[in-house]
Amino acid sequence: MNVIIKKRLLSSLACATVLPVALSGCGGGGDDSPSTTTTPGNYTITAQGGLGGANGGAGGSGEYVSLYKESGSGDIEILRTGKANASFTSQTPSTNLGDNPLAFTVDTTIDVVSAEPAAGIPYLVANSTTLRISDGNTTLGDEDPVTGLSVASGATLTLALNYTTYSYLSLSNDVDNSGTITTEDDSATARGGLRLYPASYIGKNGSSINTSATLDSQSGGFLRVSADYSIYNHGDISTFGADSAAGSAGDGGYVDLNSNYLTQNTGNINSYGGNATVGTAGDGGSIDLEADYSHLHNSGDMNSSGGNGTTGGQGDNVYFYAYNGNLLNSGDINSSGGNSSAGDGGSAGDIDSEVYGGKLVNSGNLTAMGGDTTNSASNAGSGNNVYFYSEYGSIYEYTPANEMIISGNINTSGGNAVSNGTGDGGSAGYIEAEHYSYDYPTEAGIAFLGYTDINTSGGDGNYGGSAEDLSLYNDYAWSDADIYVPSGNVTNEANLTAKGGNVVAIATTTPANGGSGGDFNLETEYNYGYMVPELEKVHNTGNADLSGGSSLESTTSSTGRSGYVWFWGYNGVDNSGIIVSNGGDDLGTDGGTTGYGNYANDIEFYAELGPVRNSANLTNNGGHGEYHGGNSDGIELYGPTVINSGNLTSNGGNADETLASSTGGYGGWIELYSPDSLLGVSHSGAVSHTAGTGDTVNNYGAFIKGGMCISGDC
Amino acid sequence: MKSINYLLYPMILISILSLINTLAYAAPPTPVISYDKNNDTLSVNANNASFKDILAHIASRSGIEIQMDDKAEHLTTITLDNVPLEKALSELARQSNYAFVYSEPNSSDDNSPSGKPMLIGMYILPKGEFSADMLRPVPLLPATGEAFIREKDRYSTPAQKVEIFNHAQQRWEARLKAMPTERREKLLADANEKRLQVEQRQIEREQKKQKHAEKRIEREETRQARLEELKTTDPETYERRMKSREEIRQGQSHNDN
């Protein structure tokens, strides 16, 4: 095994393998603008569980936010400032319609024929993808195929269905659309779909492709544009389902834009499900945009959400894919579930972005929320996931993974149930970014820019929903030469709320437990940080509240526990964010043996070779409970040097001392430890490790500095 | 040779940190103490410094376990320059009664690189005292943090790092063996709990990675299925599609104006 010993030596790899394809690979292709700006942001990430009903309903679970990287010395950052710049140069290239083009300047319908139409009439035949212009003889299909077509502004080209349920055209040259392309109905309940396979598709400003439903309750037809080369679409695409006044609404048709090269879209795409007044709402249709060997650019807004109805429609997935090019999105995406009035809320679709060997830059708002319900006996819908993925690409040469830069509001929260009903709140979807180099390490990192707040809390209800974690992990990488590369730094500046859901005061069922708080993990890798002392540091300036939810007459002290804090920076940890990780209180007052405050999970900062600095107040109190106070696990700062100026509070939760056999919670152990013992520890904050009140008091807490007992029961 | 320079980084860093740390405690005069883990030597420059504080620093850094009767505390003035650890401790404790503890010699699992017994502990009493009743560890508590670092490295330490931190790691092993069973088990249990939490998160990450990988494979299969369907239903378009793909792959892009 070889060990890498040179700091950030890998940049030379990053663009050394320029692809043979023009304009692809490292920049170019009209998106060579900087990936960030310095504009302050106010974005939020929300993956919160929905509200559950107070009459036996559970709050929804929050979901995790995870940023993971194993690709080299780049950093993982969530910063309050900056904004991703996903802009690109909108392109409308000249077209090549080939040697047998067909131009539509007025509204035209192309029929599917079984007998030769009059000369000059374009026609389709069943189960053939070829468009021809009749030569007026009696032999169908003996004309040269149309090579390309254009639709003028203001003109509508309507295609009859040459396949059972859809229309299908294959052209050796381009489609140049300035007007509208549409299909006939498949039936009263479904619009015909459309497959368009040209060399390239150019949809100009003001153009549209429209297979959306037009009749009550009708579903939209699907659309697939699959180009041999590129897709440039600057017009709107609609495949949505129709509303229904008397029955179930129509579903949206899926939209699939894929090309062998560049895919660029600036138009809005709507594939949402219809709304139903008295029936089930329609589901949204999925939206896929793919570019095989170049960039994927999108600035259009997309909506694949479910409709509203007696039962909410399901949102469908949105998927972006670019191979050996950049993936840039500045459009707002909505794949949420629909709301319901008599049944369950709809669940959302997920929003995934995958790039291989290029940048991944997003500045659009991403929304994948579960639908609400207004029916007191129904459950709300679940949110779905937002996922970013980056790794290397290759055609003949390898292109290392490039930077991932994300801005925009992200919301994957679950829907809300009726507050005094029996239904459950919807669970949230996770938000995850993964960055891999595999054998080709890079300095590129993950940056979430302009984020002020992250919320992964559980929903309130008769039972509290659990919160989930915020985890940033920067792992080592390796190369095909068996060289190990330490990771970069980990930085968080956003405030984190990862509180367990509360049992609401009007809850009708007891005992009822609050939800647990989510964990807060900021980590560099554990093995190779000693190689480059200036890497692998953890910085946090965001405030965090990871407290457990409140309970009501509970009989356990663990369900409403607080989240665990673990900051591991191989070469140092620096925290200035106020962290509160208290166990949930129990609100019960029955004077009996129920009423357990919950325990507070540890707050721990660790470094192996660099200083651990904390200047913020850290609070880790057990929850109060009538019969049993929750314990505090404690606070531990460990490093070669430890410098603390924050107040450290680790008190046990109080019980009712007038209640027989009640027990106060343990105070926690507060340890500041350096291998240099007292000489390695600097401390100036206030310290409290008081045991909770109760009929029985457990004097367990202590303050240990440099291995020496300063106060308490060491 | 560049690699050697980089291998020295941690030690330089540690020395610098010790120096910074030392400078940060201006009054009363703070002892300057450095322990060389490679050579197991000690340097001390102390002027009226707490004997116990000096010992605590040495114990933590070198991994030796020191137990002391508080009545042996006094102010110390001493200068030592790269003196072997055992000899340095003898110099430091010259005003006290003391005894050294060694790892069991020649045992099959002896950690000493030379095969000789390794110094792993020291007892310090006031001059003229012989009762061990008041002995207490210095520092008072074996840190879970140190145990976590050492145990982490036991499970996954790069070979090169083992060379750098050889003495401290080996002394840690020896100290563990010499500890009372109950204390060792408590310490290891705490450290391992932390290590297992780290590992559990790693396992969960692997599970997520696997789940995502499966989803990506499904999507790739969908792309392939789309092509296969085209090949079956529309061979002419399929051939054109394959030809354009190859053109693009060869860098002969078409129509990308």
Q: Which tens digit of pLDDT belongs to each residue from A88-98? A: 999 989 999 99
Residues A35-57 have a mean pLDDT of 90
- A138-196: per-residue pLDDT in tens? 899 999 999 999 999 999 999 999 999 999 999 999 999 999 999 999 999 999 999 99
- A673-687: per-residue pLDDT in tens? 887 777 789 999 999
Predicted confidence at residue B166, as pLDDT, reads 56
- A619-632: per-residue pLDDT in tens? 999 999 999 999 99
Total length of chain B: 257
Return d(Cα B204, Cα A68) in angstroms, integer. 12
A228 touches chain B (CB under 8 A): yes
How buried is residue B105: exposed, middle or buried, by Cβ count under 10 Å (0-12/13-18/19+)?
A: exposed
Return d(Cα A204, Cα A228) in angstroms, integer. 19
CA distance A172 to chain B (A): 8
Strand ranges (DSSP E) for A572-696?
A: 573-575, 579-580, 603-607, 612-614, 618-619, 634-638, 642-644, 648-649, 669-673, 681-683, 687-688
Q: Please, are residues A589 and A551 in contact by the beta-carbon 8 Å criterion?
A: no
Residue linked to tokens 């910074």: B20
Return d(Cα A658, Cα B46) in angstroms, integer. 55
Residue A364 has pLDDT above 60, yes or no: yes
- B85-138: per-residue pLDDT in tens? 999 999 999 989 999 888 765 554 444 555 567 788 888 999 888 877 777 766
Query: By percentage, how much of chain A surpasses pLDDT 90?
Result: 85
Return d(Cα B149, Cα B130) in angstroms, integer. 35
Name every chain B residue with its beta carbon within 8 A of the beta carbon of A199: 240, 244, 254-255
Residue linked to tokens 């299908």: A168
Query: By percentage, how much of chain A surpasses pLDDT 70?
Result: 95
Residues A601-609 have a mean pLDDT of 94
Return d(Cα A92, Cα A100) in angstroms, integer. 22
Q: Please, are residues A22 and B251 in contact by the beta-carbon 8 Å criterion?
A: yes
- A463-519: per-residue pLDDT in tens? 999 999 999 999 999 887 778 889 999 999 999 999 999 999 999 999 999 999 999
Predicted confidence at residue A35, as pLDDT, reads 64
CA angle A402, A406, A411 (to 5 degrees): 140
- A211-253: per-residue pLDDT in tens? 999 999 999 999 999 999 999 999 999 999 999 999 999 999 9
Predicted confidence at residue A677, as pLDDT, reads 74
Mean pLDDT score of chain B = 75
Other Cβ atoms less than 10 A from the Cβ of A32: the count is 13
Strands A122-123 and A132-133: antiparallel
Q: Please, are residues B79 and B44 in contact by the beta-carbon 8 Å criterion?
A: yes
Residue B70 has pLDDT above 70, yes or no: yes
Q: Is A682 within 8 Å of B24 when comparing Cβ atoms?
A: yes
- Of A301, A381, A275, A375, nearest to A336 by C-alpha is A381
In A518-577, the residues whose Cβ lies within 8 Å of chain B are 521, 523, 526-528, 530-533, 564, 566, 568
**Residue B113 in 3-state DSSP?**
coil
Evaluated on CA atoms B88, B91, B92, B96, the torsion sign reads positive
Predicted confidence at residue B173, as pLDDT, reads 75
- B173-226: per-residue pLDDT in tens? 777 776 678 878 888 888 888 888 888 999 999 999 999 999 999 999 999 999
pLDDT band at A36; cut points 50, 70, 90: low
Residue A391 tokens, joined: 């790794």
Interface probe, candidates A4, A176, A200, A228, chain B, greatest B C-beta count within 10 A: A228
Enumerate residues 6+ apart whose C-beta is below 8 A from A582. A547, A548, A562, A600, A619, A620, A621, A622, A623
Return d(Cα A136, Cα A399) in angstroms, integer. 54
In A482-521, the residues whose Cβ lies within 8 Å of chain B are 484, 521
Predicted confidence at residue A33, as pLDDT, reads 52
Beta bridge partners of A102: A149
Chain A, chain B: beta-carbon pairs less than 8 Å apart: 214
- Of A485, A577, A474, nearest to A523 by C-alpha is A474
CA distance A72 to chain B (A): 17
Q: Is B60 within 8 Å of A676 when comparing Cβ atoms?
A: yes
Name every chain A residue with its beta carbon within 8 A of the beta carbon of B160: 3
Q: What was the ipTM of the complex prediction?
A: 0.84
Name every chain A residue with its beta carbon within 8 A of the beta carbon of B17: 610-611, 640-641
| Torsion from C-alpha of A203, A206, A210, A212, nearest 10 degrees | 140
Return d(Cα A590, Cα A404) in angstroms, integer. 54
Predicted confidence at residue A20, as pLDDT, reads 29
Q: Which residue of B has its CA nearest to A4?
A: B3
Residue A301 tokens, joined: 């807004």
Residue A9 has pLDDT above 50, yes or no: no
Interface probe, candidates A6, A260, A469, chain B, greatest B C-beta count within 10 A: A260
Locate all alpha helices (DSSP H) within B93-180, ordered by sequence.
144-156, 159-164, 166-178
Q: Which residue of B has its CA nearest to A570?
A: B149
Q: Please, are residues A306 and A284 in contact by the beta-carbon 8 Å criterion?
A: yes
Predicted confidence at residue B167, as pLDDT, reads 64
Q: Is B234 within 8 Å of A170 when comparing Cβ atoms?
A: yes
In A445-484, the residues whose Cβ lies within 8 Å of chain B are 471, 473, 484
Predicted confidence at residue B182, as pLDDT, reads 80
B189 secondary structure, DSSP code: H
Residue B156 tokens, joined: 């996954």
- Calculate helix-pair angle for B181-233, B166-178, nearest 10 degrees: 120
Residue A115 tokens, joined: 């007998």
Residue A74 has pLDDT above 60, yes or no: yes
Residue A594 tokens, joined: 């129920």
**Residue A680 in 3-state DSSP?**
helix
Residue A636 has pLDDT above 70, yes or no: yes
Name every chain B residue with its beta carbon within 8 A of the beta carbon of A5: 2-3, 6-7
- Of A679, A20, A265, A587, nearest to B20 by C-alpha is A679
Q: Please, are residues A155 and A206 in contact by the beta-carbon 8 Å criterion?
A: no
Name every chain B residue with its beta carbon within 8 A of the beta carbon of A533: 9-10, 13
Q: Is A636 within 8 Å of B144 when comparing Cβ atoms?
A: yes
Q: Is B53 within 8 Å of A229 when comparing Cβ atoms?
A: no
Structure-model confidence comparison of residues A333 and B248, the more confident one: A333
- A659-674: per-residue pLDDT in tens? 999 999 999 999 998 8
- Of A270, A333, A352, A351, nearest to A307 by C-alpha is A270
Evaluated on CA atoms B17, B18, B23, B28, the torsion sign reads positive
Q: Which residue of B has its CA nearest to A529?
A: B10
Q: Is B256 within 8 Å of A229 when comparing Cβ atoms?
A: yes
pLDDT band at B160; cut points 50, 70, 90: low
Predicted confidence at residue A706, as pLDDT, reads 83
Name every chain A residue with its beta carbon within 8 A of the beta carbon of B248: 21, 229, 260-261, 292-294
Other Cβ atoms less than 10 A from the Cβ of B251: the count is 15
Q: Please, are residues A272 and A304 in contact by the beta-carbon 8 Å criterion?
A: yes
Residue B56 tokens, joined: 């605590």
Interface probe, candidates B14, B19, B21, chain A, greatest A C-beta count within 10 A: B21
Enumerate residues 6+ apart whose C-beta is below 8 A from B107. none
Q: Is A261 within 8 Å of B256 when comparing Cβ atoms?
A: yes
Q: Is A199 within 8 Å of B255 when comparing Cβ atoms?
A: yes
Between A1, A5, A521, which is nearest B159 by CB?
Answer: A1
Predicted confidence at residue A27, as pLDDT, reads 29
Return d(Cα A19, Cα A193) in angstroms, integer. 36
- Of A381, A358, A197, nearest to A306 by C-alpha is A381
Q: Residue A327: what residue type?
A: L
For the CA atoms of chain B, what is the radius of gyration? Answer: 30
Q: Please, are residues B53 and B70 in contact by the beta-carbon 8 Å criterion?
A: no
Interface probe, candidates A129, A677, A678, chain B, greatest B C-beta count within 10 A: A677
Residues A42-67 have a mean pLDDT of 98
The HSE-up count of residue B56 (CA atoms within 13 Å, CB side) is 29
Return d(Cα A501, Cα A417) in angstroms, integer. 14
A19 touches chain B (CB under 8 A): yes
Q: Please, are residues A338 and A373 in contact by the beta-carbon 8 Å criterion?
A: no
Can you give the three-state secondary structure of A136-183, one letter per residue?
CCCCCCCCCCCCEEEECCCCEEEECCCCCCEEEEECCCCEEECCEEEE
Residues A104-128 have a mean pLDDT of 97
CA distance B226 to chain A (A): 10
Residue B168 has pLDDT above 70, yes or no: no
Q: Which residue of B has its CA nearest to A436?
A: B209
CA distance B107 to chain A (A): 29
Return d(Cα A382, Cα A59) in angstroms, integer. 12
CA angle A203, A206, A209 (to 5 degrees): 55
Predicted confidence at residue A439, as pLDDT, reads 82
Q: Is A170 within 8 Å of B152 when comparing Cβ atoms?
A: no
Structure-model confidence comparison of residues A559 and A182, the more confident one: A182
**Residue A380 in 3-state DSSP?**
coil
